[in-house]
Amino acid sequence: MWKVNERGEKVFRGGKEDGAGAAQAADKCPNFKLDVEDEIVADELRSCYNCRYRRWTAESFACYKPE
C-alpha cells in the first residue's frame, strides 16, 4: 500500500484514484487526523485523502504523520 520514494517519503501506491484503499489505510492508522474543512476531498471522512498529514505529489500523496 506504501512505497518509499527517492526522498525517503512514504508515498501511497494507490495514487489519487484509490478511494477505497485510502479509506482502508486511514482505518488502520492510529495517527489519522481529519484536515480542515477546506482540504477535505473524499466523500468518506476517514480517508488518507482527508488527513492533515498528507501532502499531495504529482501522482499521489506522501504521508507525514508523526512516528
SS (H, E, C) the chain: CEEECCCCCEEECCCCCCHHHHHHHHHHCCCCCECCHHHCCCCCCCCHHHECCEEECCCCEEECCCC
Residues of the domain holding 10: 2-63
- pLDDT band per the 50, 70, 90 thresholds, residue 4: very high
Q: How far apart are CA 29 and CA 56, in angstroms?
A: 18
Residue 13 pLDDT grade (very low, low, confident, very high; cuts 50, 70, 90): very high
What mean pLDDT value characterizes the chain? 97
Q: How many domains does the chain have?
A: 1
pLDDT at 19 over 90: yes
33: which 3 cell numbers? Answer: 487526523
